Amino acid sequence: MDLSLSVALDTQALEDQASGKGKAILKILVVELAHIGDFVASTGVIRAIKEAFRDSLLVAVVTRDTEEVARLCPYVDEVEVYDYKGEHRGVKGWLDISRRLRRYGFDIGIATNLTFREGLLLYLAGCKERVGSPGRGRGIFLTKRSEYISRGAMFGLDRELAFRSITEIRLKVLEPLGIKRVSYPRLEVPEDLKAKVYDTFLRGLARPIFSFGTSGDGTYKRWGVKRWKILGERLVSSYGGSIVLIGGKEEREHNEAIFKLLPFSRDTTGKTTVSDFIAILSLVDLHIGVDSGPLHAASALGKRCVGLFGPANPFCWSPLSENGLVRSIYKFLPCSPCYYKNRPCLSIRPYGVRPCMSSISVDDVLREVSEHMSAISSDEMMRKE
């Protein structure tokens, strides 16, 4: 068959599925093998796919770390785990995930990230159409290629895409399928899970509840224990309410130091599952945090957020949100962004604070909080009316 005719037939089949004319259910594989924040950003891509092909079966392949997040995405029908750094490491792991995925008989496979591993996985899964951005060797596995997106674009280091959010950049992968709309990331927490975490972690706390996400990926984004202490004291002095510290086991020591200075706060660090801490975020009034998974999750839950950015490009990595729900602070130091680049501050001791983060003052954060609290008050007045 002529190649152009084959592509035309494939495109028509996709259009029929999108309009509901096709009888068989379209089966779509989305591969996202990255961190929590990356997956949450990609829920905007997953949402765009599901809105284009509403009656499809959408399966997400994720890492063990992001499995629980994927199950909270309302556009994902099934989740498959590929723990390539752990239990699925090596050839045996490749064979296992390939066997599991081939059972579905996927019509389309989409790689949202820009790694060779994701391109190869689309091929091994037996996807009839394999969609992604070429480059880094993965192009040989693709049947439909978007425009080339450089690796640097994922870290805000590509000049042409430096002012585009990571969600918008990843949405460009869908253009060969005719999908060009911008969809916002979204997570949903079941009511029974909300009730459970409220009883376990939040019962008795006064409103408003402020959550602090203090650490993120390693130590590079830390803002400083004393700054969090001063911020917590001034928030409670100005607005009343409560402070909740969130984070994983690797952040426990750092947040314990903050908790000792804010004994009236509630420290949930290392005491929750991933889905638990996301459920906690769904119940707070305002999240304040560095560029990390909790910031992206809170935004995807529709929460008001203040994001603190230093090593990473805020235009790229500030969560894509509606109606100004995320207000990001960034000081434009000449050495920033440096994340995934040269990292000139590597010599700073682990609990030290990089200049790009220490340049953000408590007053800077409080100004953004004030804007959010005014909006929250207005929203409450409108609801009462």
Distance of CA 15 to the CA centre of its chain: 29
Q: Is 208 helix (H, G, I), strand (E, B) or coil?
A: coil
Domains and CATH numbers, the chain: 3-177 (3.40.50.2000), 191-384 (3.40.50.2000)
C-alpha–C-alpha distance, residues 115 and 134, integer Å: 10
Residues forming a β-bridge with 288:
212, 306
What pLDDT was estimated at residue 340? 59
What pLDDT was estimated at residue 48? 97
List the structure tokens of 92.
């045996």
List the structure tokens of 200.
């376990």
pTM confidence score: 0.89
C-alpha–C-alpha distance, residues 211 and 289, integer Å: 8
Rounded to whole angstroms, what are the CA distances from 333 to 175, 208, 256, 354?
Answer: 35, 33, 30, 11
Mean pLDDT of successive 10-residue segments in the chain (385 residues)? 36 54 83 93 96 96 96 98 90 93 98 87 96 83 88 74 88 93 94 98 97 82 94 97 94 94 95 97 98 96 96 91 92 80 58 85 98 84 54
List the structure tokens of 229.
């202490």
C-alpha–C-alpha distance, residues 187 and 39, integer Å: 11
Q: Which run of H or of E encompasses 25? A: none
What pLDDT was estimated at residue 30? 98
- Closest C-alpha among 302, 303, 301, 307 to residue 288: 307
List the structure tokens of 288.
């304040």
C-alpha–C-alpha distance, residues 90 and 93, integer Å: 5
- Closest C-alpha among 285, 360, 340 to residue 155: 340
Per-residue DSSP letters for 77-140? Answer: SEEEE--TTTTT-HHHHHHHHHHHHHTT--SEEEE-S--HHHHHHHHHTT-SEEEE---TTGGG
Residues 6+ apart with CB under 8 A from 36: 65, 66, 69, 274, 292, 293, 296, 297
Look-up of token digits 């969609």: 131
List the structure tokens of 15.
């259009």
